Amino acid sequence: MTKVTWPTRKETTVSTIMVFIMVFLASVFFLAVDGIFAWGVRMIFGLGS
């Protein structure tokens, strides 16, 4: 355990914030891609209004 280098509080905080930002960006990306695919399927099959 003496050779383990533990992250500082600041490093942990920055890493956590970056994870939340990346999760948010990924969810927005997949929401957009899903909307585009749904629109494409509606256009191809003529479903919806």
pLDDT reported for residue 2: 77
pLDDT digits (tens, 9 = 90+) for 1-26: 679 999 999 999 999 999 999 999 99
pLDDT reported for residue 22: 98
pLDDT digits (tens, 9 = 90+) for 27-43: 999 999 999 999 998 89
Q: Residue 41: CB partners within 8 Å, gap ≥ 6?
A: 47
Q: Which residue has the tokens 């399927």?
A: 41
Amino acid 19 reads V
- Report residue 49's pLDDT band, with 50, 70 and 90 as the boundaries: low
Token representation of residue 44: 């191809």
